Amino acid sequence: MRNMLSRCLSLNDFEKYAQRHLPHPLFAYVSGGVEDNIALRNTLASYARYSLIPENMVDVSQRNVHVELFGHRYAAPVGIAPMGISALTGFDGDITLARCAKEKNVPFIMSGSSLTRLEDVAQVNPNMWFQAYLPKTLEEIDALIDRVKRADIPVLVITVDTPVKANRENNVRAGFATPFRPSLRLAWEGITHPRWLTGTLLKTVLKTGMPYFENNSAQRGAPLFSKNAVRDFSGRSHLTWQHIEHIRARWPGAMVIKGILSRTDALRCKAIGIDGIVVSNHGGRQLDTVIPPLYVLPEIVEAVGDMTVMFDSGIRRGTDAIKAIALGAQACFVGRPFNYACAVGGAAGVNLAIDLIISEISRDLGMLGAAALADLGEKHLRVTG
């Protein structure tokens, strides 16, 4: 593993090792988008449309990449995005990601589609944020919000871009579905990926028993492996902004809405009293051909004024994060690369990935002639693509 990590010089490098390490259905789940993957490809390509314009002979010897979000001063403007079933791609994945984020002092958002109890992860990183997919009924929503409140989690993130189940054809083709149905194909995937089988799956079962979806609601959800159990993805299509208003009245801490792509929705969030938004297209995993979030970021920032605006989807380089910050984002989140880093390198891999992206941001600031994140602006960008 040490030799492999020494060859990882950027976030992109972790993906090829994860593809070898993970069973094909799992890698397809993490790496894939939706339908024809057009949204995924366009999102990754959107950063190249913006070229950087440096200003030279500026004192950048004391560069500052710190950022303050909801009363906490973080070491960098880049954090770990919520990722489902991280404990299956990497051993103790949720705990590992949370612990590394705490050690490096970067934001960490835990996914509601996780296999580790949110209370256990909060013990490791009390400053974690929790991302919820809302259950069907108001009663179930209240129970989940109250559970998160009891865990003393400071920031609640509600994802709003999943009203219906996405058409992830790549998952079907790869044989991925949750719960996993025992089959010869699934057994073969485990046998042909022995390091993952023994180092992640069997190790998890020996430590905690059968993994379950622990945080989709206030109660334990479906098991990860089952012949008959079904995860219920239905029931969100009736949810409206009135449900968000209800949660806002019930939740005492900072509240963030994730999945915003329209100026109208951003203004709704501000009117409700939401503390922050994440401009995001879910990494191209929900609606194919949806607009890359980088293209709508400036108009959303302009519309909401002093509201905290954050960003995710497709960030792989320090220059990607810098472009989002120059367009008005206060912080960015990265998903897949941290999942890959955890899968192949555990804590050492995640720590390396965090160091790589922070180092790139600091170096790129210097090359641009900006001593601090606040110095970044649209003067540093030109649309050339």
Q: Are 279 and 261 in contact (CB under 8 A)?
A: yes
d(C-alpha 282, C-alpha 335), whole Å? 10
Tokens encoding 49: 């449309």
CA 276 to chain centre: 16
The Cα 44–Cα 374 span in angstroms is: 25
Our answer to whether residue 282 is catalytic in this structure is yes
Instruction: Give the N- to C-terminal CA distance of the chain in Å, as an integer.
Output: 39
Choosing from 21, 193, 282, 380, the catalytic residue is 282
For 109, list phi and psi in degrees, rounded to 5. Answer: -110, 120
Distance CA 261, CA 278 (A): 9
Cα distance between residue 77 and residue 106, in whole Å: 8
Q: Write the DSSP string, 156-206.
A: EEEE-S-SS----HHHHHHT--SSBPP-HHHHHHHHT-HHHIIIIIHHHHH
How far is it, in rounded angstroms, from Cα 242 to Cα 272?
9
State the alpha helices, DSSP H only, in 241-329: 241-250, 263-272, 293-304, 318-326
DSSP 375: G
The answer to whether residues 115 and 94 touch, using CB atoms and an 8 Å cutoff, is yes
Length of the chain in residues, anyone? 385
- Residues taking part in catalysis: 282
